[in-house]
Amino acid sequence: MLIPVRVFAGVRREEHPLNWYNILVPYPTNWIEIDTSALHENAQAIQAYIGAGRTLWAVVKADAYGHGAPVVAQALLQAGISHFIVASLNEAVVLREALKGQPFRLMTLYPPTTPAEWRTAAEYAVESVVDSLDGYRQACEVAKVFGRTLPVHLEIDTGMSRLGLTAEQIEPFLAALCPDAPVRWQSVFTHFACADSNAEFTREQLHRFLQDVERLQAAGFPRTPLHAAASAGMLTVAESMLDAVRCGLLLYGIAPTGLETHPLCQNLKPVLCWRARVISIRTIPEGQSVSYGARFRAERPTRVATLSVGYADGYPIGLTNLAPIALHGTLVPQIGRVCMDMLMVDITDLPQTRVGDVATLIGRDGDAEVRVETLARLLNTTPHEITTRLGKRARRVG
């Protein structure tokens, strides 16, 4: 179900707390439609896939992968999902404020690095990551000052080499571990490095993780839920789902790289559509160039439509002369270098196109569809990068 957001002068912020950043002008030049019904269905399909006994942690970091974190989290709460993960403390505070008064669990992936950050996490009921002995000590000190027990998650590094206790750091951590410390362990987890491309290495990481958990528990660390798999891991190494799954990309109906044909991916629906208007049409002669750098020259008399969207809105300049655009139910080629605020398409074969028509950069228009996965392949990047770079200038509707 698409829910339009009405925009008018004089609106007060408190009247639209989830879409305040959308209340700019009544006539957006490009906009993003969020299909909350698809989000509900995806969440239900993923929960069914992982099993009712496992917790689904919805990853809504990076503004819900560009979809709009407050709107997405609100829709997921209505679908019965109440566990959320963001990256930073700032993202956590913004989400708490946007959904003020609604109960949900909220975890950050960045470990707090100062006592002030731990205090803010405590004030906003944020479950923080402990990934070092120093972090554990800071958490205990802040908890004592606050006079409350802090909820924390322990991260283990099994080969990502980014965050978490390494195998060598586990013994010093256990030596400092105090059973009466004012922290409440919510889970132990790890991150896979190659879940979408190397199942063997992923299983190796899983084995290391379970061995490290055994070491922890043998030394008296409490038994807690375990999680390792994100979207790719749950599809490629089923045994990695453990007690919980951290799911981002799949919730939004986007397949991890190389897994587009997985049965679950085939059943999920894209949540995001990105559209822009035709603001100008002209016909150029054979040999004439289009846009900066003259990187496109017409090989025939060519009808060119200019769209009201560019790289300032998050459309990658790297898609110059590569990407398809959907218009009137047909895919047409983007031509000329993508500009900051505009891009051009070849509409020679669409004589019915007029100024004001709507083009689709991501999503479906009749029989034509532009998938995020397709654009990612053209850029040799991940789907995550495409959607997380969508700017605030594109108004979210839904």
CATH number of 167's domain: 3.20.20.10
In a domain, 15, yes or no: no
Is 7's pLDDT higher than 70? no
In a domain, 17, yes or no: no
Residue 108 · residue 125 · CB < 8 Å? no
Tell me which of 267, 292, 319 is where a domain ends: 267
In degrees to the nearest 10, what's the CA dihedral of 291, 292, 297, 303? 0
Indicate the angle between helix axes 89-98 and 115-123, nearest 10 degrees: 20
Q: Judge if 281 and 262 occupy the same domain.
A: no
Q: Judge if 71 and 96 occupy the same domain.
A: yes
Q: Judge if 280 and 241 occupy the same domain.
A: no
Q: Judge if 168 and 67 occupy the same domain.
A: yes
Tell me which of 267, 285, 304 is where a domain ends: 267
Catalytic residue chosen out of the listed positions 136, 144, 292, 311: 292
In a domain, 2, yes or no: no
Looking at per-residue confidence, does 187 or 14 come out higher?
Answer: 187
Residue 26: the pLDDT is: 63
CA 161 to chain centre: 22
**Up-side HSE of residue 113: CA atoms within 13 Å toward CB?**
4
Mean pLDDT of all residues in 196-210: 97
In a domain, 29, yes or no: no
Q: What is the CATH number of the domain that holds 289?
A: 2.40.37.10
Residue 158 is given by DSSP the state: S
Least confident among 8-12, 140-144, 215-219: 8-12
Residue 392: the pLDDT is: 85
pLDDT one-digit tens code per residue, 280-295: 999 999 999 999 999 9
pLDDT one-digit tens code per residue, 211-231: 999 999 999 999 999 999 999
Q: Judge if 319 and 253 occupy the same domain.
A: no
Tell me which of 225, 251, 267 is where a domain ends: 267
Is 11's pLDDT higher than 70? no
Residue 276 · residue 29 · CB < 8 Å? yes
Rounded Cα distance, 177 and 196, in Å: 35
Q: Judge if 257 and 296 occupy the same domain.
A: no
In a domain, 68, yes or no: yes
In a domain, 20, yes or no: no
Is 162's pLDDT higher than 50? yes
Q: Judge if 205 and 257 occupy the same domain.
A: yes
Burial pattern 263-274, b for ≥16 Cβ within 10 A else e, equals: ebbeebebbbbb
Alpha helices in the chain (DSSP H): 36-50, 61-65, 69-78, 89-98, 115-123, 133-146, 167-176, 199-218, 231-236, 263-267, 372-379, 383-388
Q: How confident is the model at residue 331 (pLDDT cuts 50, 70, 90)?
A: very high
61 catalytically annotated: yes
Residue 5: the pLDDT is: 36
Q: Judge if 210 and 352 occupy the same domain.
A: no
Collect all residues with Cβ–Cβ distance below 8 Å to 110 and sequence separation of at least 6: 87, 88, 89, 129
Rounded Cα distance, 228 and 33, in Å: 32
Catalytic residue chosen out of the listed positions 21, 27, 49, 61: 61
Q: How many domains does the chain have?
A: 2
- Structure tokens that stand for 24 in this block: 């700019």
Looking at per-residue confidence, does 26 or 7 come out higher?
Answer: 26
pLDDT one-digit tens code per residue, 90-135: 999 999 999 999 999 999 999 999 999 999 999 999 999 999 999 9
State the average pLDDT for the chain: 93
Where is 369: in which H helix or E strand?
Answer: strand 368-370
Structural domain for 124, as ranges: 36-267
Q: Judge if 133 and 278 occupy the same domain.
A: no
In a domain, 14, yes or no: no
CA 289, 290, 291, 293 torsion: positive or negative? negative
Mean pLDDT of all residues in 252-260: 96
Task: Report the predicted TM-score, pTM, of the whole model to 2 decimal places.
Answer: 0.91
* Three-state DSSP state, 201: helix
Q: Judge if 286 and 160 occupy the same domain.
A: no
Q: Judge if 261 and 292 occupy the same domain.
A: no
In a domain, 87, yes or no: yes
Q: Judge if 191 and 281 occupy the same domain.
A: no
